[in-house]
Amino acid sequence: MTLGSGGNVLIHCLEGNGRTGVFTACLLKALGLSGEAAIAQVRRARQGVFQTSLQEDYVLSFRP
């Protein structure tokens, strides 16, 4: 199974916030979403996942 086949993927660290959101949003960017769209999609799945503006800035500046 690949990420693009429509299956579910679980990504988690200790609390599921911070690193998990950054990693997931960067993965979504690598799959073709814009930074803003990736952040919005992760937020829809889990509220409060980004704990600092630096985490969001990292996602926005990430280059796959």
Confidence band, pLDDT 50/70/90 cuts, at residue 11:
confident
Contacts of 18 (CB under 8 A, 6+ apart): 49, 50, 51, 52, 55
pLDDT tens, residue by residue, 18-59: 888 999 999 999 999 999 999 999 999 888 889 999 999 999
CA gap 60, 34 in Å, rounded: 8
Work out the pLDDT band at 16, boundaries 50, 70, 90. Answer: low
List, in order, residues 6 or more apart from 19 with CB less than 8 Å away: 13
How much is the pTM?
0.84
Say if CB 49 and CB 17 are below 8 A apart.
Answer: yes
Residue 12 has pLDDT above 90, yes or no: no
